Amino acid sequence: MSATPSRGGVPTLPPRRLRRRSWREAGFAALDFETTGLDRRRDAIVSFGVVPVHRGRVVLGEAVHQLVVPEIPSSPASMKVHRILPRDLEVAPSLEVARQLLRRALEGRFLLTWYAEVEVSFLERIFGGRHRSWAHRTVDTRRLAIELEGQDPDVRESLSRAAERYGVPVAAPHEALDDALVTAQLFLVLASKLEARGLGTTKGLLRLTRV
């Protein structure tokens, strides 16, 4: 994907004072990308889903789901995963247009992801900005589960499997909006459990999951 960063630059960061406060006082945006393949340097975004979390609650009424015409076609393997076919993209916007919707959805919010390295890599390419800056505003929900359960961080686990273990419903795996919703709901469960262990600030969660 050869997209250049948008003219407006990186979406506005949340106020720094919120880092020191309870995560329940902060605003988050759970984010998921579906892509044309697994090469983060070459492949492109074909859809994204964003689900806000405000004061410890999912705000489904402000959720965003957008298909995007990728600059390179999806590989057959990736289409089997996300099930987005070329005909589904006939009226979808380009990334140049869709990134403005994505910017608005992320403005002033910390980010929630599953395997943050993927989303952070694509966000750098879409908006510009330093890797460190993106990482410092991103909570990797997978790493919360690792911390809570004492898992081996090198063992890969799917979002769906972790969600089911914590009683979070999964309706459509590898569909960007549903994956973002599952990430948001799983975050609330895991953050509440870690809060009971004394890890209750946004800064603590960010540090714990830094990519």
Which option is the CATH number for 16-208: 3.30.420.10, 2.40.10.10, 3.40.50.720, 3.40.1440.10? 3.30.420.10
pLDDT at 151: 82
- Average pLDDT of span 26-31: 98
Element (H, E) at 123: helix 116-127
SS3 45: strand
pLDDT at 170: 96
- Does position 65 have pLDDT exceeding 50, yes or no? yes
How far is residue 143's CA from residue 116's CA, in Å, rounded to a whole number?
9
| Domain ranges, ordered by start, for the chain | 16-208
Q: Are 27 and 53 in contact (CB under 8 A)?
A: yes
- Average pLDDT of span 96-110: 96
pLDDT at 53: 98
Residue labelled with tokens 């569909």 = 175
How far is residue 94's CA from residue 197's CA, in Å, rounded to a whole number?
45
Closest Cα partner for 198 from 140, 142, 133, 147?
147
The band of 78, judged by pLDDT with boundaries at 50, 70 and 90, is very high
Query: Tens of pLDDT along 168-191?
Result: 999 999 999 999 999 999 999 999
**147-160 exposure pattern, b = at least 16 Cβ within 10 A, e = fewer:** bbeeeeeeeebebb
